[in-house]
Structure 1
């Protein structure tokens, strides 16, 4: 058997939770003697392609289908031998995809990682459950603490795809984090569909604060970053945990989605405008120097001009440190698709999204200008021609801004921390000089 036939190209689409799934599969494959490459465009490197798909919103589904078709063409021309597809899109539309794409060798759901490993020809080893082949830089990794979601927001298909919230046991997470630390990981990015619900299903209470405290005791881990905290019924003890633990970044990703009571009710978010403002006040009062990231959804049924104007006032008033926005996409089977008519044209949704981002860009530029002259701790992610590229504790990889550290007659090491004096800013990014 040639080396190419023992190499699998794992292609990952979608969110960081999919990245973790791919990394778990890759570790199982390497344990059986396979070589793996990740997101490779070089068709000469492998003869098996495994595509991990996203099925969350319309654009993501289109991207996944285009990727499948791209490799299907390569198979037709004899460049690769086999294609397997798994993940969210495959979970939701397996029958339709199988009927339309007979050239694909197999479609598998999100909970069939063991089957995927076996069909490729590898042995699935239960003892490797907490091990992964990292696709991120060596110094940071995602830690997925639960699967699924139990909230049932009107627009979201995740419960239909991945089921209700299922927490992983704390001892398993600690073991996985210890293994990551031994590999050189210094920053853990804690992810889940709702990270603050962690533990409720298996322990009878939320234990996200305890988990973060346990993770912070691991030697080698210096930053712990929390993503995807649900705003409704937010566990307030978490505020004190973040504020008092120096290893937990003063950073919180909490997707508010909207502020209008009408839209929040239609979205089934379980929180009101008043409660939202109260929570933000508590977070900023309780956690000094907090960077607050949020995600907003525009164009949901019920969002008229008044509701959108209220959302714009919310963005202007709160001045989020980081913000992303998406246009509403009707997803079959969701409460929103069953209960509302999607009457807002896509062009109008995109216009609203653009208006929100224009507001946010001005806010981000203003906040960045306030940092000029300050000295900030930065972790270096990569080296480019004229700059080292790093991040502060207020910046998560891929989604937030960066710090461009000007090169000089010195060398910086990727994965190491440095103090950087901020000299200038451009849009969402900072420019600085390292203090050696």
Structure 2
């Protein structure tokens, strides 16, 4: 093991990643060498930032903890700390079951880790982060928590009620990140739509995005995780008018049948959902919408699912994901409904949706053949430069494979002409 080195392992979503980056900045400021998600962990101390969203994520988190607990038993590390959503939710059980962990911290208690190491929290870098992403883009978390009461979701149990950061604080962080070379920002929250209501008593997402767009050096802004009910339509004007606000929106719809939307407690109807999608596309021509759907929720009939299938076929979302229902303790669905849909049926329904989406994605990508698009270059491999358009978020969306006719710089934006397409990849030649 390497003395004075701390390995930070992040599981789950990009919001967790931001927390890890803030922790890492504090560790660096206190003189530690810090590695993030190393292929071969070698630090004397390991910090695991856990996810507790659904069954698979919890299982991954527990298995990761157990693996490092065994490494500690084998004296391959001296201290093991666990933080994040899983330990927020199951701290007492984890303490009992995995005593090898030196200390557990909740979702928001990670600052205590610094003092437990005998170090001090550095106020001068309180809002700074050690970026784990390529240096040209970063995730920007604008709020914590969620006030919604969706039947299936355990997130509010772990994160608490919605708490917006101030516009001034966020803009200050953007300026700081731009100073470090960041030019692309993925705006993230559990619920973008709610932003500002708690702090300013009115929706402020549009004003926030406009303020961010006016910071010199911000080239792309992309919005993630909007909520469909009471959607802040004024953000569409900003998206339409500001060249550096990408025509991209990640908005989780979860279902379309009125029966399921009611059981899921989504506070929106099928008619309102269709009107929402139509208005978004009407007000922002060319927008690419990413959404997710939940299948196998208690009470989902074959008719409900067929309604969802037809909706996906008709609306043709440019980007889409699906996941099966997970029966989570503490949720409304857990206490009020019987989880009576077999796992095999849940998986089959998810597979059906994703097979449809593969065809839709191919059609969307093939429609770009012959067009000139802007692409930001993320990395280089042996055969191609690999980047993304404004319609593509890192990790989850298609990539653009650019032929190596000219030398390109990582993090720069270039014009490319699309030559061919697959469902999840686009091929292009450099134009300028």
Instruction: Give me the TM-score of the superposition, normalised by structure 2.
Output: 0.99
1:231-271 CA-partner distances (Å, limit 9, x unpaired): 00001111111111111000000000000100000100010
- 1:427 positional shift: 2.0
- 1:80 positional shift: 0.8
Question: Which of the residues 251, 260, 263 maps onto 2:260?
Answer: 263
CA distance in 1, matches of 2:256, 2:419: 36
CA distance in 1, matches of 2:219, 2:236: 19
CA distance in 1, matches of 2:227, 2:21: 26
Alignment correspondent of 1:29: 27
Alignment of 1:178 onto 2:185: no
CA distance in 1, matches of 2:79, 2:218: 39
CA contact (8 A) 1:43 1:79 kept: no
CA distance in 2, matches of 1:33, 1:246: 41
Alignment correspondent of 1:433: 429
Alignment of 1:293 onto 2:290: yes
Alignment correspondent of 2:274: 277
SS in 2 for 1:333: coil
CA contact (8 A) 1:386 1:406 kept: yes
1:100-136 CA-partner distances (Å, limit 9, x unpaired): 1111101110110210222233311233221000000
1:326-379 CA-partner distances (Å, limit 9, x unpaired): 000010000110110000011110000000000000011111111111110000
- 1:313 positional shift: 0.6
Question: Which of the residues 411, 414, 417 maps onto 1:415?
Answer: 411
Alignment of 1:14 onto 2:36: no
CA distance in 1, matches of 2:72, 2:18: 27
1:13-49 CA-partner distances (Å, limit 9, x unpaired): 00000000000000111111111100013233x1000
- 1:5 positional shift: 2.3
Alignment correspondent of 2:101: 104
- 1:4 positional shift: 2.4
Alignment of 1:169 onto 2:158: no
CA contact (8 A) 1:28 1:122 kept: no
CA distance in 1, matches of 2:113, 2:103: 9
Query: 5 Å matches for 1:14-413?
Result: 14-44=12-42, 46-408=43-405, 410-413=406-409
CA distance in 2, matches of 1:132, 1:43: 21
SS in 2 for 1:228: strand
Q: Which deviates more, 114-123 or 410-419? A: 114-123
SS in 2 for 1:294: strand
CA contact (8 A) 1:43 1:80 kept: no
1:58-100 CA-partner distances (Å, limit 9, x unpaired): 0000000111111111111111111000000000111111101
- 1:289 positional shift: 0.9
Instruction: Give me the TM-score of the superposition, normalised by structure 1.
Output: 0.98
- 1:6 positional shift: 1.3
- 1:425 positional shift: 0.8
- 1:285 positional shift: 0.3
SS in 1 for 2:304: helix
CA distance in 1, matches of 2:207, 2:283: 18
CA distance in 2, matches of 1:137, 1:282: 34
CA distance in 2, matches of 1:220, 1:116: 34
Equivalent pairs counted in the alignment come to 432
SS in 1 for 2:40: coil
SS in 2 for 1:5: strand
CA distance in 1, matches of 2:391, 2:28: 35
Alignment of 1:4 onto 2:15: no
1:262-293 CA-partner distances (Å, limit 9, x unpaired): 00001000100000000000000000110000
- 1:411 positional shift: 1.0
CA distance in 1, matches of 2:404, 2:98: 50
